[in-house]
Chains A and B, each alone.
Chain A
Amino acid sequence: GAVVSQHPSWVICKSGTSVKIECRSLDFQATTMFWYRQFPKQSLMLMATSNEGSKATYEQGVEKDKFLINHASLTLSTLTVTSAHPEDSSFYICSAPPLNYGYTFGSGTRLTVV
């Protein structure tokens, strides 16, 4: 079945530094990738939609300059958290649109900013 590989699974970074999270579709081409953020005991919150070859679409309230999304190819989408601060600590998840059985999700990245 469709697999989305997300790396890293966890990362700790210092405040003010940038962190890149990668999501790769391993056995299919993903022209679109959705990026979610999840705080403890809360549901997934959609941050943005990346599209191969065009600019990402951000949800209301999400800072475009802080969360840089690039969809470099049909198999790779990246999320860069720039100038990270402790309040950016969260669980980030990517997801590719359906093949036959709905969305395929990455395994998530736990970001901790210290």
Chain B
Amino acid sequence: DAKTTQPPSMDCAEGRAANLPCNHSTISGNEYVYWYRQIHSQGPQYIIHGLKNNETNEMASLIITEDRKSSTLILPHATLRDTAVYYCIVRFETSYDKVIFGPGTSLSVIP
């Protein structure tokens, strides 16, 4: 699976949009970009994934650049409950391969 790089930490004001970047310059043509988050002392939670088109669901939006070398996860109206570590992972959609987690981005939503 392709390696990803994320900033170690970010702050966001409550109610504002949180934009979390991820670089994945070695992504291959069939690899998807997945985002998970982990709230303290819980298991990671799936947020969203995409291949090349922008995606949106009830939790977030995913913007993938045209060259697919980077992406941005957008939480449109961050709340205190969005404070968590966010992990960007690239992998094949139906792969059963193991997933190696990077350090992720620790997002702090500030009142």
Q: Do A and B come from one complex?
A: yes
- Asked whether A105 lies within 8 Å of B45 as measured between CB atoms, the reply is yes
- Asked whether A102 lies within 8 Å of B101 as measured between CB atoms, the reply is no
Number of interface residues of B (CB under 8 A): 23
- Given the known inter-chain contacts A43-B101, A43-B103, A44-B101, please indicate yes or no for A105 contacting B44, CB distance below 8 A: yes
How distant is the Cα of A104 from the Cα of B45 in the complex, in angstroms?
8
Which of A4, A36, A42, A110 has its CB near the most chain B CB atoms (within 10 A)? A36
Can you identify 15 A-B contacts, CB atoms within 8 angstroms?
Answer: A6-B43, A34-B98, A42-B103, A43-B87, A43-B104, A91-B41, A93-B43, A95-B43, A102-B34, A102-B36, A102-B46, A103-B36, A103-B44, A103-B99, A104-B46
How distant is the Cα of A42 from the Cα of B104 in the complex, in angstroms?
10
How distant is the Cα of A98 from the Cα of B99 in the complex, in angstroms?
11
Number of interface residues of A (CB under 8 A): 25
- Is B15 an interface residue, CB under 8 A from the partner? no
